[in-house]
Every structure is written in C-alpha cells, then in structure tokens.
Amino acid sequence: MLNFELKNPTKIIFGKDQIKNLEKELPKDAKVLLLYGGGSIKQNGIYEQVKKALHGHEVVEFGGIPANPEYAVLLEALQVIKNESITFLLAVGGGSVIDGTKFLSAAALFKGDTPWDILTNGIPTTVGLPFGTVLTLPATASEMNSGAVITRAEIQEKRAMGGPGLFPVFSILDPQVVASIPQRQLANGVTDAFTHVLEQYMTYPAGGYLQDRFAESIMQTLIEIAPRIMKNPADYEAAANFMWSCTLALNGLIQKGVPGDWAVHMMGHELTALFGIDHARTLAIVAPSHYRFNFESKKEKLAQYGKRVWGLTEGTDEDIAKEAIVKTEEFFHSLDIKTALSEYTSDYKGTAEKISARFIERGWNGLGEHKSLTPAHVQEIVEMSY
C-alpha cells in the first residue's frame, strides 16, 4: 500500500426530502448566488424546493451553465459574483454545474492575471469562496471531491483543476431526484461512475486489499442497480444506491494508497472537446481499447476483476482477464452506450493522430499508472477505439 493523506470535510446530507434542510447549512448572513444549468430543475420541482429553503436569504440567480461547463459562460457568472458581492455559491445541478461552481469558487479569490491560468498552469486552490451543492444528477462525485473539469470551446480545450479549498461545504443528495432523470443521463451516470472506479482499480496489484474490495463493491452495486434504475428510476432503493455509489466512486476514498491510471479520462476528454460526445460515452469508447492495449501490465487486476465482480471462473487467469473486458463492454451496451467512436461520428478518421499531436504539444508524455504511455501509444489506443 502506498502512503497517502485523506481529508474530506464535505458534509453529506443524504436522503428523502433533505432539500428542505438547505437553509440551516447556509451562513446566516450569506448573499447567495444560485447556479444551475439548462433549466430542468424548473420542470422537476427542485428549483421550487430550493427557492423555498432559501427563503430569508438574499439570492441572485445564474442559470444556463452548459454540460461541459464553458469558460466563457463562467466568466459572466464571475462578473455577477463581483458586481453583487456574493459571499456563498450554491450549485444546483449535476457535475457540470458543480464543476463550474468550483471554478468560480477558485476564480473569485484568484489573484493572478487571468483565471484561465488556474487551468493551464495547474494552480491548486487552497482557499475558495465557500459553496454548497444540491445534486440533481448522480455521476461525477463532484459533490464530494475537490476537482473540476472546465471546457473552453473557442480553443477546443477541456482542462482539469482542483485543490483542498474546493470541497463543497455541504452537499444535499436526495435520491428522489433520480426519478426525473432521462434514460440517456442515467446511462451516462452509471457509466461515468463505473469508469471512475476502473481508473483507480485497473492498474496492478499494489497491496491495497481493502481499497480493491471497496472498488469492487461499488462496481458490483452499480451492476446490480443499473437495470433497476433504467427500468424504473423512481425505484428509491436502487436510486439511493446509485447515488451513493457515484459519490463513493470518486470522493477520494478508494484511490488512497493505490496507484491510479486516468489515461482513459485524458483521451476521453479530447473526444468531448473534438466531437461534443457525452463525457461518460467517451470513457466507454476508450476504456476497452485501453485495457486491451495495456493487457500485459493490467492482466492481474483484470483477472481479479473478472473473478470478483463478474464471477468468472472458466479458463486461465489470462482467459478471465480477456473475458472481463468483454463483460465490461457488454455492461455498457446493456445501458445502450455504444463503445466505438465510429458509432458516434462519421468524421472519426485522423482523430488518433490529432489527439496524439495535442498530447505532444502539451508535453503530455508518460500517462497511466506506470507513467509509460507515450503520445504514440495514445494514438494506437484511440485508433483501436474507432
């Protein structure tokens, strides 16, 4: 097991009808900026619940944060924070709204020339403007971690940021919100969380026995509840386990003490930046090829995953490892998630070279848990994903 530090101060308020408890989590004299996305919260009743709970506070609203939170839009919100002397941010939405809010939390107190520096120069945020979240879409775990990914469309860039100052003060998770989530987003959420676990697990045996079992637990739970929520998202028990599994998949716990890969995300982000493919779907496109390409270095964990998560018993460990990749693809397909780039765009030719060239330009050499993947390897993996 590797050495690690863990501190996650976010207060989780989980369960039925918890949104009404929002009010007591806010600082008494807070001037709140309420941030949300495309307006689905106005259809599903969450907006009203939130507004009711905010009664008594001074609240300014900023809606319209898009999926893959867009830098240009966030700069507008930043101006509102400054003009209105906002003291507390409240994100009501999924990962995009929460990630956008984290950028604003950092940018509001940033002393440098331009907040884009936070993203390009990887500047960690130690103190941000305090914020809370009301989660409406389980997937990214942004509600209980300190990371964010921001998109800048004008230069087709998608970049990560973070820091210990970017944990939400609180996050309210009411699984009843799952009932109104469209099928496509449910499938994305399951796929996103499942791949988050894979990124932290599918490396090499590193003596993190408990971490491995926790990771397997999350994947087993997602496999168990996926058909139930796809069939009936109002199934509270399935929705609650879906929501909590997504949070635990990337709140930091299972990655402590073990190596991480994350190359699938690095490649996937490029597919979103280039083609606008949903984040989760880019992961499903890249992951199987990634595991096949890196089979030799990952086969022990692939076999363990095959046995413990998929219950495979037939054949050698190598057979089981290979079959485990197939099982993973089949799982994505069962969610109606396609796993080939060509199923999303006919314009895929040259993508591998393009992504590889971008990685060279950024000096991104040595991805993955062994820091051994070169841009040339990335090119091969993306080509295998066509």
Q: Which residues bind a second copy (CB under 8 A)?
A: 1-16, 18, 175, 207-211, 213-214, 216-218, 220-221, 224-225, 237, 240-241, 244-245, 248, 253, 256-257
CB nearer to a second copy: pick between 56 and 311: 311
Contact partners, residue 206, CB within 8 Å, separation at least 6: 1, 2, 257, 258, 259
Closest distance to a second copy from the beta carbon of 256 (Å):
7
Specify the residue, 98 or 215, whose C-beta has the smaller distance to a second copy.
215
Least distance (Å) between residue 120 CB and a second copy: 29
CA-to-CA dists, residue 306 to 302, 310, 327, angstroms:
6, 5, 8
Which helix (H) or strand (E) segment holds residue 86: the answer is none
- Write down how long the chain is: 386
What tokens appear for 51 in the block?
């507004």
For a second copy, the closer of residues 186 and 274 by Cβ is 186
**Considering beta carbons, is residue 126 or 209 the nearer one to a second copy?**
209
- Residue 208 Cβ, how far from a second copy at the closest point, in Å? 8
The least CB distance from residue 226 to a second copy, in Å, is 12
Handedness of CA 359, 278, 217, 257 (dihedral sign): positive
Distance CA 12, CA 257 (A): 23
- Report CA Rg, the chain: 20
Minimal distance, residue 221 CB to a second copy, in Å: 5
CB 218 within 8 Å of CB 242: no
> CB of 26 within 8 A of CB of 88?
yes
Taking the complex as a whole, how short is the minimal distance between the CB of residue 145 and a second copy, in angstroms? Answer: 14
Residue closer to a second copy, measured from CB, 222 or 266: 222
State the residue for tokens 């990655």: 255
Instruction: Identify which of residues 37 and 175 has a Cβ nearer to a second copy in the complex.
Output: 175
